[in-house]
Amino acid sequence: MSRLVGSMTDSEQVRQLLQRFARAADARDVEGLKALFHPDATVDSLRGKQAFLDWLKGMEGPRIYPTSMHLIGEPLVHFDGDTADLDSYAVVYQIGDRDAGQQDLTMGIRYLDQAVRDGQGWCIRARKVNILWTR
């Protein structure tokens, strides 16, 4: 999947980046995720700050929940040339296997992303994942 998005404004492009992330994460589409992050990207989440490629290994393992849905809201965006700071609220639904007695997990998340523009468009250079609440 190319990151090029034709005639969209920069604001539209960075919002599409987040929506692509949501669908690739839910599909466990590792190649799709790779296309959205800078090769040297970092992800700072529950496990602390990791290289993106290390974080990605966690997406290649077996799924804990059979279905997930990342509903990512509109980011607050601040552009500075070829860099953009994105601040996005999301609700992530991890849907359990009820037949197996597995509970659902719902998470309120705030993604703080630094996106950068290169020759192929915008990609995520650094992500901080703040989990605001879980239920």
Nearest to a second copy of 82, 104 (CB atom): 104
Nearest to a second copy of 23, 47 (CB atom): 23
Provide the binding-site residues for a second copy, judged by CB under 8 A: 6-9, 11-12, 15-16, 18-20, 22-23, 67, 69-77, 79, 87, 89, 91, 93, 95, 104, 108, 132-133, 135
Nearest to a second copy of 23, 49 (CB atom): 23
Residue showing tokens 């700050």:
49
* Interior/surface letters 97-131, b for 16+ CB within 10 angstroms, e for the rest: eeeeeeeeeebebebbbbbebeeebbbbbbbebee
DSSP state of 35: T
The least CB distance from residue 99 to a second copy, in Å, is 14
Nearest to a second copy of 51, 130 (CB atom): 130
Number of Cβ within a 10 Å radius of residue 22: 16
The least CB distance from residue 98 to a second copy, in Å, is 9
Residue 130 corresponds to which amino acid? N
The least CB distance from residue 76 to a second copy, in Å, is 5
- Which residues, in sequence order, are bridge partners of residue 37? 124
